[in-house]
Amino acid sequence: MDDDRKHRFEAVYAQTYEHILGYAMRRCDSPEDAADVVAETFAIAWRRMEALPEGRSARLWLYGVARNVLANHRRGQARQRSRNVALDDDIADLYSRSPEGSLEMSAIARAFRELSDDDRELISLIAWEGLDHGEVAKVLGCSRNAVLGSLRRRCRVTAQRAATFGTPATSCLSTTCGRMSAIRSCWQRSSRRTSTPPKKLIRESSETILTQTFCVLVDPLDTSEMAVRALYGYTHVLVYSRRLARPIAAVVGDIFHHLQIYAAARDGDGHDRAFVFTQDGTPHALRISRSAPLAEALITNFFMKPGERFVPLAQQTGLIGELSRPSADGASRGRVGVDFGSIGLCHVAAGFSDAMIEFAKGFATWDLAPGHYILQAAGGVVLDLQGQPIPLDYGFDTLADITKAMERRQKFVAASTLPLADHILSAMTL
């Protein structure tokens, strides 16, 4: 029984340590105080293991414990300091790299500090800890409707106070919006085709910025194929919302072609939209309309490495047979081509190819994710080799989760339509 208790505690500690550490360090004035809060929170968890819920609810329960411990500190109650040098160093390092340091004198930080303790806690649980409204209600011991109402009021007050300190309410979006100006321009030009005006998109983004936490993947220049593609290279950027557990924007640059940028983003109505930008900056909406049968499809694969990929592809005799099947007029129109990473999925989204397959080695997350999101936003599908849709939730929750995600490789079939993807899978020997 003691071993079971110990193992469960160690498992909960490993899963929640980063969350509780972040909670404490963002609310304490010093690394030493944050260390006390973390240590006392887990000490209470050890003593009250019988009350500790299972699964994700354990983290919410620990937030509640940490909140009470922090309240005790702030009221000046006696502190039992049992610090660990490694914990202090860990927190001190995080403090030194925290973006809060650079915001200390900003107008947003000043407006935030002027809120009451309860209001700061409400916004912090959503913005910093990434909890949804129902989870916040559990931590605070109130109803979900109460959280929603209070959050709307507090976000407006924070924006108004930030403005009084000389900072526009939308300034917190300046970096992201500035770098995505081409995409926003596309939305402006296509406003006649969407029920959500661009101004509303930007306004809603500014109002919800405090409810989002982001993970950004950047692959500045994939050059592995440059020597054989006459300097054709590409770049990836993906913005992933940890709160929504999905991407909300992606850009793939095919920088040496006339069609230079493929992009997708989530609009204010929650719809994903995909575009391709030509060299002169003109945007074109991507929405797959072509539906080719397998016998007339162009299927691509990264088969440049003979042993790892070309030989396995050549052994797919069933697929090759289907691609070689004559059409009604007797002509064989099925083709196999070579393509690379996310840009290969973007070419499917643009209609230059009909499908891309990867069944031998798998793509790394950073190679697959941006193109996966853009293709899905254009109406295409990405299935695993069992025929199941690959979710857009890549599991970027904690730093440990992100590290694991970067080590994964995913095998897939990406296609313009679900029937084509299913036909490809049925023709393959897996």
**pLDDT for residue 265:** 94
> Is 1.20.140 the CATH classification of the domain at 2-164?
yes
First to last CA, the chain: 45
Write 314-319 long-range contacts (CB < 8 A, 24+): 315/429, 316/427, 316/428, 316/429, 317/429, 318/427, 318/428, 318/429, 319/424, 319/427, 319/428
**pLDDT for residue 334:** 93
Q: Is the pTM of this model over 0.95?
A: no
- Beta-sheet strands, E only, within 156-271: 214-222, 234-241, 246-253, 259-266
CA pair distance 275, 189, nearest whole angstrom? 12
Inter-residue contact 138 to 128 (CB < 8 Å) = no
CA pair distance 11, 6, nearest whole angstrom? 9
> How many angstroms separate the Cα of 403 from the Cα of each of 18, 248, 392, 410?
14, 20, 17, 15
Do the domains at 2-164 and 294-427 have one common CATH topology?
no
**pLDDT for residue 255:** 59
Inter-residue contact 23 to 40 (CB < 8 Å) = no
CATH number of 173-285: 3.30.540
**pLDDT for residue 323:** 94
**pLDDT for residue 345:** 94
CATH fold label, 294-427 = D-Maltodextrin-Binding Protein; domain 2 (3.40.190)
DSSP reduced 3-state for 334: coil
**pLDDT for residue 171:** 39
Nearest alpha-carbon partner for 196 in 90, 271, 286: 271
DSSP reduced 3-state for 249: strand
Measure the CA angle with vertex 13, ends 9 and 14; round to 5°. 120
Q: Tokens for 198?
A: 């661009």
**pLDDT for residue 297:** 94
- Beta-sheet strands, E only, within 280-402: 283-285, 298-301, 335-338, 355-364, 381-383
- CB count, 10 Å around CB of 332? 12
Q: Are strands 355-364 and 298-301 parallel, antiparallel or unpaired?
A: parallel
**pLDDT for residue 91:** 52
DSSP reduced 3-state for 415: strand
CA pair distance 304, 301, nearest whole angstrom? 9
Q: List, for the chain, all residue ranges whose pLDDT scores fall below the cut of 70.
A: 1-2, 76-115, 127-130, 151-212, 220-234, 255-256
Instruction: Name the burial class of residue 276, with classes exposed (0-12), middle (13-18) and buried (19+) by CB atoms within 10 angstroms of its CB.
Output: buried
**pLDDT for residue 170:** 39
Inter-residue contact 319 to 385 (CB < 8 Å) = no
CA pair distance 367, 104, nearest whole angstrom? 37
**pLDDT for residue 330:** 86
Inter-residue contact 277 to 248 (CB < 8 Å) = no
Inter-residue contact 375 to 382 (CB < 8 Å) = yes
Domain range annotation of the chain: 2-164, 173-285, 294-427
DSSP string, 364-397: EHHHHHHHHHHHHHTT-EEE-TTSPBPPS----S
